[in-house]
Structure formats: structure tokens, C-alpha cells
Structure 1
């Protein structure tokens, strides 16, 4: 005999004809649709003769005592009235709400057409240091130096005197260590194998002292608003990188959501284990990227994170949190860790398209789906089911793969290449469109991780905070390079003129390691410059763009040579006897074409067009002119450069 659970009393009632008709006449019950069968809803208990507003809302009909099958006497009603409301709280009663079943049909699915534009064309392609400054600016380095000084004073009672230029040099040295990897840190300062750029930037003991006391917060206790946040010690770094990601211009496109590991094998209550990752142990970071690998947003996982809580579970909660940075109309790709059918329904309601692999036990009403068995399917076979705008596609490659989407199905067929072990050659295999799209656009986070592993700053440490700081430093470099590459391609720059990741990271490291120890002076008096000239000519290497235009003590020097030498500018074919010299302990940047009006191509902020017919300074080889004397040369000493015969 069938029974019905009374939502008010929690008792089982016989399902009579009158009760069935009363339930069917109420339309509210039939309109309710819950995709998750495990979802439970609780309401406080009420009296048997009381009907609450929530009962009427859910369409629970009023049942008479005769329908309940309970004989109640007047004495019992009077006793209940005299007793009044009970002070003892009763246990909540579980309510089962009738829901509409999802019916899966074997039919065709109409795909949604995606027409997305590419990366928007920027006004100008900036230098590498400018892209990196979007994540870490001067205010961040100044605050880090203050926090490091405060921590060292509280710890030892002495003064560290850490400055903003030293923090920049510390970052630059770590970036250089990621490029040139040694098994031990002390080897970078060891004789015969030392790195000259690192040795000249900072001593070994000073580097270890700053690295061991590096802090980004002012106190040792969490602030009032961060008591439930276990990441409060590195929260300024996380906020800085998030603000840099928020500055990226977003357009509707294809994005991928996946996990990323912050490698750390020491003791930390935030440590997780993912066996299928190249670095399985560390902090778990959920990331959303474009299909090219440009990170848009991220969220570090920890227990009881309020932004990662949702009735549908952790996987959908991560997707809902990360798509806040994605414009509507975009297509989101995720793996089976995140995919559920209610997630796709909610994404469709919010105006997003979703595609991903799914587990069989997450499919509602899966008992009515009769997919082909894996052993009966041949390579390239496709089986499809559709229900309420959601499609399930089972495809057999070397193994069976189950995918689902609310925008792309398996009706359209594409040909892909697969290796056949029997024929020992590549053959054409039929693949549904949903599978080819998933394989093409899902790997954005994997591209980001692969780029970070090329030149990761990897060193052993017991402090998880230092690992997080170095991880986001590498992440900012890779993301800045990815944005620089997208801007360059959108601007139409040839690929052979676009810097690769190694050159991009090296230029940022060189700029930071050559940071002057003092701020730039507003006005510098014109003084006589004494330079030791060598009889042997050694060509200078081209400096980085950050060092070239930093504006610190770039002065012209007139060399006593017989013939002018070629300009160091790549696009210039002129010759000159005047070169740029840096008086701040840095090397000369080579010979540069100079016009006597004070405009020099290598000086910061002064970038006139370089023309082959530009005028050069004429001076006697027997005399050495200072900067003041060069400016005082009359115009009659100007002459045009004539080609040699």
C-alpha cells in the first residue's frame, strides 16, 4: 500500500483517492522542480490543527482528522489548550516535496552559435616593467619594506633599515634565480661560478636577512576583519594580484575553470593533496583563464570559506564565484570535479554557456537512461540524450567519455586523428562537436601552469607564506607576458619581434636589480663629468627598457676617438662620438646619436624620431667637452653626415 509523509506531523498517511485528487488539483506542487534528490528542507514543527503560510506556499492541502485517520477527543483538545505552548523544542521534521522528473530522450540537439571577437587592439604596446607594475607597484613595495622593518624590530629589537629599492632588488634576484637555477642559494655568490648581476645588486648575507624577514602585514595577529581568514598573512599579495587581474579588459569569449597547486611540502593547515597534478602537494587555488592561458580571477581554497559555499556543493560554488569576473554570454569549460546538471541549469538562467565532463552518479534520473555498454561500442561511436535544454553525449575513443553541455551537443560530427595500434598509423575517427570544443578550449589553466614551470623560482623553505609570495610573483610575470603577447598580436606586430617569456622575465629582473638606491632628483646641476677612458674599445650591451628610461643620472660623454662609432639604437644607422653614461654605478649604454639641443635618444622621456640625416656634434679630437660646453657650441659647427667613400 502506498503511503504519504505528512509535512506537518511527520506521520505516514495512507494514500487514498481523495488525498491524491487534492494533491493533483493543487498546481504549486507540480511546478516545483528540484534537480538534486539529496537536497533536504527543514521547517519547525507546528501543531496538527495549524496550517502555516509556508504550507500554503508549497501547496500542502489542509487535511481533516478523518483524512489523517486519527480520532481526537474533546478532552485531548482541551488538555492541549490548557497546557499552552511547549517550552521544549521539538526535533525538525524532514519534508519531501513532490518534484517533476527529468525525462531524457534520444533526439538531436540544436547547438548555440558562438561568434566571439578576438583580443581588443590596445592603443600602445607597453614595456615589460609597465605590464608587471599593474600587479606590483611602488606603493606595494613601500608597504612591504615598512612591514619587514616592523617585523624585524619586534623580533630582534634592532633596526633593519630596509628600503623600497632593496625590496625591488630582492624581487629581481628571485626572478633571475628562476632563470639561472643553482641547487643552493649560496652558489650564486660563490667565486668562479657567481652571477655578476646578482653579486653587484646585493650581498649574500643581506639577501638572506631580507628573505627570512620578508613580511607584508604590520602585526603578528590577524586584524578584526580577517579572524576567520587563514590567509591573512599574505592577503595584501593576493589583493594586489587580484587588482591587477581586474584591470584586464574582458570581452565575451571562452574561459576555463580548473585547479592550480601552490607547491609546498612543509607543515601547513591549508595543505592539500591532488594525486593527478605534477606537483601534488600544496595549497589549492581555483583559477579561471581564457583559452589562451590569461588568468582573469582566482580563489584560494580553505575550509569554511564563505565565498565558496553554495547549496549545490563546492564544485558549482567555485564556478559561481569565478564567473563573477566573466562577462555574460561567455562559454565556460570545466572538468568533472565541478560539473553537475543543476549547475548547467543555473548557468543557462544567468546567461552563460557551460560545457564539461560529468560523472554518471551526478546525472538525475539516470536509471531511465540506457546508454550503450562500453564493450559493445566501437571507436568513434556516439550516444546522445537530451532533456530540458541539457545534452548528454557518450563517445568511445580508447575509453568511453561522458560529456554534458547546455550549448553544444553531439549532432555535428568532426574528424580527428587517432593512432591505431593494429594498423600502426593515424586514422580518421568521428568525434562529436562537444568533445572537440572541450579538448580545444579547456586547457587554459594547464597552459598557465606550464608557462610557470619553465622558470619557476623554486627553493626550499619552511615558511608557507614565502612560498605563496614567490608563487604569485611568478604568476604575475607569466600573466603580464601573456597580456603583452596578446596586445602585440592584436596590434599586428610580427611574432619574431615579440619577446618570449625568457626575454620578458630577464628584462624585468634586470630592471629591478639595477634600481637606484635613492629616489630620482627633481633637478641636477650641470657639472663637469670625469670619466676614465680606456684605449681598448669594448662594445656595450643594450640595456633593458626599464633601465634605459628610468631617468637616473644619464649623462652624455664625448670620447676622444678618431672615427665615430655606430649608434646602439636598433633602428638607427647613424654614427656618433658621444655616448650615454650612467653615474650611479651602472655601465654605459653605448654610443648614442645626439643633437646639440639637448635631445638624446637614450635619455628617458626624450624620444625624437631617429633620422639618418640628423645633425651631429663636431668637436676637436684634442679637447674633451663637458655637458655645458657641448650645449654652448654655436650652430655653425653643425654638419650633415655624409657617406664614406
Structure 2
């Protein structure tokens, strides 16, 4: 029989693990990960052995707990409409249409000014399973994808959106025009269209066909003004909303004098430049913390865009309301994390400095007062009350995960007195 000498003390599980998966192996992985990333990207990702250890920990967690498998299962079967009814619909965006219409209804409810910009937005998708729904626009950062027509105010808030599917794009859209000024580019503009919008619908338009230095010429007919202005290049405009007066001045670089010179600028240009940036602002915010939604199923990127657009719009509304209250708004990143933690019913991590004992984070307000699942949980070890500096208790709220004395309340409780439920 084999005999083994007993150790002086039993090492920890981590020490046993490091007997086999040595520091040398971890350093080897870090080195070759940096080497491979430099070969592929031109610049290493600069990982470290410590970060590789964190990476291994995540892999081990995934092997023990089933949350990743559950996430993959949800992602595999998440759906937005009944496939069995798909063949009966002439809507080519049937699989995602219901969700988009729900979002559109909410966007239309947002109060806005009477000045809007209309532009095309691309939702990136390089696959081929969507057929001719996928479009190509050469001057876009995302050249391949689904095209949306969006209407936004200058603040960047999207107030309306439309999925483009060719000639049938407007099959389910009811036009309800109001007196407005719409700023759009040449894709949406022709003389007959501008005239029709003015006479039939009362909608004012300003169009800038090409970017272009100070001479100006114009002609007017049937309520529509055509203007040619020379910037660095020729600029052509159509408008039934405002004219060329009063002129303002702008600075432009002159190759001849090798300095910036002052030139005259018609009021249409100033108005267009002031209001046209709403769509660009919204697009930038959507791409800052973009939801990863790559998939063979073509409608999942559109679902990701819905989620990102809701975050961008809601943050802009929050920022506007904070300004009205003279309060400093949180950043888009912290706002996004706060929404995520509220969806997850867990408190967000708080910044901690160099202190001996970090404070226990408080749950989000909408989690604290949702009246769901705040039950007392008795613990073997006592914990410090979350709401006072000296008190300790063996009871904590199961959902909020904070200790508290019987006289303190961490959250709202449905139909039960707080001193009873938290005692």
C-alpha cells in the first residue's frame, strides 16, 4: 500500500491550485496575449498577470454558476413577435415592428420645440440574412446596416423614427403635421416636396445640399426660396421658412491670404447650422456605451439600438430636468449603470477612497421603494446598521442587503408596519 507523509498543515484551495497552475504559467499567458494582440491590432492590449488571474476567476465562476448558461438561453430565445403570423404580414420588419412602434409612441409624447432636424441613421449589420432590408451608405461610419429616418430636436432627443424598407416604408404611418420648421439635407428635398409641405401641411423646410465662401445669389417662386452661397465650395439651399436677411458673419480660412477672413453668411445657413446637430448628438450618445448585439438573427441589432436609444433619450430628459432644478446631472455612464442596477434589483458600487472600512452601498431609490420582496432575514453574525453610526443588528433586509435596527426603515413594506417587519 502507498504511504503519504502527512503535511504540517493543510494548504488553502488557492495554494493547491497554484501548485499546478503556477505563476510562471500566468506570466506566460500574459506575455503571449500581449504579443498576439500587438500582431493583430498593431498595439498590445497591455494586460498583466494580475488581470489574467481575474480573467481566470471569471471563467471559474462561469463553470460553477449557471448564470452564463441562463443568459445564453435567454439570448437564444428572446423574441419580439409571433413567427407563425409572419407570413400573413406584408411588413418586412414584422419581427421587430411591435417593439419599435411602442418606442415611437413614447418618443412622440416627449414635449419638444417646433424646430426639428430630420436625418438618416444607420444601425450596423453586416450579415446577409435580412435580404434587401440591409442598406449601404458610403459616407456613414457604419456603412452597412438598417436605415432609420429620425426626427430630433437640437438637444439630441429623438421624437420620431421610421424603419426604412423601400417603397412600403410608410404603409402604417399616419401623418399628423403641426406648424414646424424642419431642417433636412438633400436626400429629403426637392422643389415640389418643399412646396407641397408648405401649402398642404404647413411644414417649413430648410435644406443644405452641399457644404461649401461669401457671395450670395437667390431666386424666389411660389413661396420657396432658392439660395446659392459660396463658402469654400458652392452651397445650394431651398427654404420656405426663412430668408437670407439679416446677414451674419463667419470666419473662414483663406489660402490666398493664409489667414482667417470674415465673410457674410445668409440667415438660412446660421439657422441650419444651429439646429441640424440633434441627430448627430443622439447618434454619438447611442454609440458611447453601445449594447453588444451581434447576432445571425438580423433583428437583434435593432433590439440593441432600441435599448441604447432609450438610454440616450432618457438621459437627455434627465439632464434637461436637472438643469431646470439647478442640479448637477450624473454622467451618461453612471446613469446607464444606475438603470442596469435597478433592473437587476441590486445596489450600484460606490466609489471608495483609501479608508479602512468601505461604507455599505445603499440600494437605488426605485429598488428601495418598490414594495416588493423586502423581508427580514436573521443572520448569525451581527452587522452595523446602515442608517446610524453606532447601532448593530442581526436583522437585515433580504432584498436591499443592509442591516438595520428595528427603529429604522431601509425601504417601504407592503401593508406591514416597518417596526414589525424589520424587528
TM tier relative to shorter chain: 0.7 to 0.9
Contact 1:481 1:504 in 2 (8 A): yes
Segment of structure 1 superposing worse, 330-339 or 300-309: 300-309
- Deviation of residue 595 (structure 1)? 8.6
Match of 2:97 among 229, 235, 248: 235
**Which of the two has higher C-alpha Rg?**
1
User: Could you tell me how far 1:406 is from its partner in structure 2?
Assistant: 0.7
Among 52, 58, 82, the alignment partner of 1:218 is: 82
- Please state how far the C-alpha of 1:199 moved relative to its aligned partner: 10
Indicate yes or no: 2:288 matched with 1:454. Answer: yes
1:356 aligns with 2:220: no
- Structure 1 residues 538 and 448: CA distance shift in structure 2, 3 A: closer
Give 1:582 shift.
3.2
Deviation at 1:422, TM superposition (A): 5.2
Instruction: Summarize the Cα distance change of 1:582–1:629 in structure 2 as closer, same or farther, 3 Å threshold.
Output: closer
Asked if 1:381 is matched to 2:242, the reply is: no
**Aligned to 2:117, what secondary structure does the other structure show?**
strand
Deviations 1:388-446 (A, max 9, x none): 22111111111110011112121311112333455555432221110111111012111
Match of 1:335 among 176, 181, 185: 185
Report the equivalent of 2:412.
604
Q: Is the 8 A contact 1:548 1:604 kept in 2?
A: yes
Q: Which runs of 5+ in 2 are unaligned?
A: 1-51, 348-355
Out of 334, 353, 359, which is 1:539 matched to?
A: 359
Q: CA deviation at 1:218?
A: 3.1
Give unpaired runs (5+ residues) of structure 1.
1-186, 310-320, 360-373, 517-535, 568-573, 607-625, 632-645
Aligned match of 1:550? 370
Tell me which residue corresponds to 2:313: 479
Q: Does the 8 Å CA contact 1:265/1:281 hold for their aligned counterparts?
A: yes
Tell whether the 8 Å contact from 2:186 to 2:207 is kept in structure 1 after alignment.
Answer: yes
User: What TM-score do the two structures reach when normalised by structure 2?
Assistant: 0.73
Q: Are the structure 2 counterparts of residues 397 and 193 from structure 1 closer, same or farther at C-alpha, using a change threshold of 3 Å?
A: farther
The partner residue of 2:338 within 483, 489, 507 is: 507
Q: How far apart are residue 554 of structure 1 and its match?
A: 5.5
Classify 1:432/1:630 alpha carbon distance in 2 versus 1 (closer, same or farther; 3 Å): closer
Give the match for residue 56 of structure 2. 191
Partner of 2:22: none
Within 2, Cα distance between the matches of 1:458 and 1:246?
27
Classify 1:192/1:384 alpha carbon distance in 2 versus 1 (closer, same or farther; 3 Å).
same
- 2:155 is aligned to 292
CA gap of 1:487–1:278, structure 2 versus 1, over 3 A, is same
Q: Secondary structure at the match of 2:252?
A: strand
Q: 1:492 aligns with which of 322, 325, 330?
A: 325
How far is the alpha carbon of 1:291 from its aligned partner? 1.4
1:401–1:430 distance in 2 versus 1, CA, 3 Å? same
1:35-73 superposed Cα distances (whole Å, 9 cap, x missing partner): xxxxxxxxxxxxxxxxxxxxxxxxxxxxxxxxxxxxxxx
State the number of aligned residues. 353
Counterpart CA distance in 2 for 1:190 and 1:399 is 53
Distance 1:515 1:398, change over 3 A: same
| 1:188-337 equivalence runs, <5 A | 190-192=55-57, 203-222=67-86, 224=88, 226=89, 228-250=90-112, 252-267=113-128, 268-269=130-131, 270-305=133-168, 307=170, 324=175, 328-337=178-187
- In structure 2, how many angstroms separate the alpha carbons of the residues matched to 1:304 and 1:629? 61
